[in-house]
Structure 1
Amino acid sequence: MPLLKQLGIIVGICLAGELLNKILGIPVPGNVIGMIILLILLITGIIKLEMIEKISKFLLDHLAFFFVPAAANILNNLQLIQSQWLPIMGVILISTVVVMTVTGLTVEFLIRRWSV
């Protein structure tokens, strides 16, 4: 029963994010708004980590399962991907380098700032 209560909290926050997205028309996906809401609730202490810890661990342990629909969709559109493989690989490589660079620079900045 604790897992259902914790799942209810997570789903409720996700639905709140989707609802805010629809009402306000913000150009940010509802699930991202939901994550921001969850972060704010955790930081302010309105929701304690213990209140969602078990379901969070369960979802993270089974994270690969959530990629199955995306992989199946890729296989369904394989002919489209095959005709555009070079631009797709270019975008993947460039975005990977950009993310690694930005992450590294951010970590270096934070280390320098906090060590002073």
Structure 2
Amino acid sequence: MLSALTQLLIFQLAGEVLARGLDLPIPGPVLGMLFLLVALILRGGPSHDMQGTSQNLLQHLSLLFVPAGTGIMVHLHRVANEWLPLVLSLLISTVATLVVTALVMKLCQRPAATTGEQP
């Protein structure tokens, strides 16, 4: 488990170093996940250790939401003062996500329909 956690942290560190070093607008952990994806594709999938460690982390994922919930409770007055922009941004981003997802799905289905192949 220790080697798999070390690998995960190294990929996150590499993404963070690249994002900060090149002043990229993409968060370092996102770049780290992209690096991890490429490494897993090149390796042909995750090792047994990586699978077990990932499953353990996913089982305890809900613990990561505790700090966010605490932060909301601490700043509840700000949420109350700025509820309209928060609700509008949530609604607009949800609609935008649904539209983009539908368009991507439609684009992904188009080649099979135009060539006459059955999915």
Deviations 1:39-59 (A, max 9, x none): 1112222x7312521111122
Q: Distance in 2 between matches of 1:14 and 1:29?
A: 10
Q: Distance in 2 between matches of 1:90 and 1:101?
A: 16
Q: Distance in 2 between matches of 1:62 and 1:103?
A: 29
**Residue 81 (structure 1) aligned to one of 79, 82, 99:** 79
The AA in structure 1 aligned to 2:86 is I
Unaligned runs of 5+ in 2: none
Q: Distance in 2 between matches of 1:95 and 1:29?
A: 19
**Residue 92 (structure 2) aligned to one of 91, 94, 110:** 94
Q: 1:64 to 1:23 in 2, by over 3 A?
A: same
Q: Distance in 2 between matches of 1:69 and 1:114?
A: 46
* Structure-1 residue corresponding to 2:46: 49
Q: Distance in 2 between matches of 1:90 and 1:98?
A: 12
Range moving further from structure 2, 15-24 or 90-99: 15-24
Normalising to structure 1: TM-score of the pair? 0.86
Q: Distance in 1 between matches of 2:40 and 2:111?
A: 24
Runs of 4+ in 1 over 6 A off after TM superposition: none
When the two structures are aligned, how many residues end up with a matched partner? 113
Range moving further from structure 2, 103-112 or 47-56: 47-56
* Structure-1 residue corresponding to 2:101: 103
* Structure-1 residue corresponding to 2:5: 7
Q: Distance in 2 between matches of 1:15 and 1:30?
A: 7
Deviations 1:39-95 (A, max 9, x none): 1112222x7312521111122222211111111111111001101111211110111
The AA in structure 2 aligned to 1:27 is P
| CA root-mean-square deviation | 1.7
> Percent identity, aligned pairs only?
36
